[in-house]
Amino acid sequence: MRKLKMFFMDHWGKMSIVLATIVLIISFVVLLMRLDSYGRNTMLAYIPMYILMGAIQAIVFVGAYMFFFSGGFSKLKKNKVNSSKVNVKFSDVIGFENAKKEALEVVDIIKDSSRVKKIGGKLVKGILLMGPPGCGKTLLAKAIATEAKMPFISIAGSEFVEVFVGVGASRVRKLFKQARKLAYTEGSCIVFIDEIDVIGRGRTFSYMGGGEETNSTQNQLLVEMDGLESAGQNIIVIAATNANENVLDKALLRPGRFDRKIQITLPTLEEREDIFKYYLKKVKAGTDIDVRKLASYTKFKSPAEIENIVKEAALISTRNKKNFVDMDDLSLAMDRVNLGLETQLTMTKREKEMTAYHEAGHAVALYLLHPTDEIFKASLKSRGGALGLVYHTPREELHTQSKEELIADIIVALGGYAAEKIKYGTTSTGVSSDFHKAMAIANAMVWNFGMGTRGLVGDFTAIPKDSMSSKLKEELNTETMEIMNTCLNKVNECLTNDWAIVEDMAQEMLKKEELTYNEVEKLFEKHGKNKVITTNEYIGIKDSSVKEESENKAEIQKTGNIKEEQKKEETEKEEQKTEELKNEDQQQEEPKQEEQKNEEPKREETKEEETKTQE
């Protein structure tokens, strides 16, 4: 009954026009029946001209009416999407398990709304999905609509923005009017606004009126979500944004509008493994594919990027006329996605050889001295403007970097320069990007992170340049160069000691142009070298504060040892004294015992004499 009522409400204009047309036709036929033959023929002759003139006038009038009075520039045509047609379940959403738990809780609240109202709670009015692009925010919104079995209206934030004033606010009103109708007939409705930061940014005010159009659009959105007329409506707004939460207006983020904020992060190792398995099922994949290794090589990749890698691998396999996708295809796909398309450059023999030694220097320094990263591929193929590259990834997902890791990054960046210098006694312009990276890291260590060698702690970039003394600047710059020089000395020492490995790797790269991780591992095993991870020994850089602490500890240990020795000497002296006293006592007791022995026969003689006298 509600649907029929809404049909009449939506189409009353069309039905009234049809009814009026029928009435006019009937009345015209009746009029013709009353006329004589001459009048009837004359009227029939003029009818086509009247119809043509009336049609032209009607088209002009209706067109103007539809454009200006029934929408015009603010016309918004958004049809509902049934949840059955969306057909995306939570099982199809792979990864971000924490976000799915939040979404499932929202679905349960929607399904059991009567129970929530009995307790005195309120339904969720808005859900804000935040996260990097390609992580599945739209997919999660579709899954919520499917699981909750609610009609779904989708719109982008840019569709509210036009040149003409008032268009954005008008489109917001029409969107929510349509959503209210669907909520009235279907029981509830979901409105999904993608890229809400376009209209949801913090409002700006100026005396010239700048920004008023965006402000009016956002104000209308605020009223529709939680205004006087929004009470009792079962409309849930789901919005998605790639921007930071601080970019959005505070009034939009308050409870009552967006009650839930779901943070969608990049997938973890296990989640990336599941994503690879999901997309590899959609193509013909070989049995040699190591999904775990692929997941470890794609750290900090979004699900969209992983899907793109699998699709690209399928295209490469088809181009090479293979029957299935193998590990080599996926490796080439990752190179294309991460590093760009391979470009064919004509290089001289010396230039190519110099590039090989340059990349070999990077690879050897990385393998032997970096505590967290491992080599994925060393290549002489030109990609993205580089003549060669050593692509490396961390073994674990690290979200912060220690001082040791930053030092190792500088050492690896200087490895190419050092290898060229050792081999040829000169260097090329290919070291410019390496120097830029190394200097940037060293400068940030000293100026931003307090990781210098002289104990200067703080973020010195927060101090205005005018307020900083030239002496302090000079000292900070000196620390930066000390780190650079120490790292260069360390990488020179490493490559000089293991130059045979650099030679072998450079020659292998000249033969094959690319070396994978397994090939690099075999090369180091051939020379009896294993990746030994240390955190302090290889760096060669210590803070002055650390030195003082170590010196203090050494002094404390020394003083402690001295005290222990003194105690030992005192105990030995006491033991000697006790032994001397014992000896003296023994010497004194010996003559007493002799005297007692001599006195005993005398006592016996005296006793005998006494007995004789008594007799």
| Residues labelled as active-site residues | 359
List all residues 6 or more positions away from 323 whose beta carbon is below 8 Å from its beta carbon. Answer: 284
- Show the tokens assigned to 50: 């009247």
Residues pairing with 238 in the sheet? 127, 192
Tell how far CA 363 is from the center of its chain. 27
Among 82, 69, 76, residue whose Cα is nearest residue 175: 76
Q: Rounded to an integer, what distance in angstroms lies between the CA atom of residue 19 and that of residue 4? A: 18
273, 246 in Cβ contact below 8 A? Answer: no
- Count CB atoms within 10 A of the CB of residue 298: 23
Question: Which of 84, 109, 86, 89 has its CA nearest to residue 100?
Answer: 89
Q: Is residue 516 helix, strand or coil?
A: strand
CA atoms of 171 and 151, how far apart (whole Å): 19
Note whether 161 and 61 are within 8 A (CB).
Answer: no
CA torsion through residues 361, 363, 367, 369, sign: positive
* 495: its two tokens: 């490559």
The DSSP bridge partners found for residue 375 are: 392
Longest pairwise C-alpha distance within the chain: 208
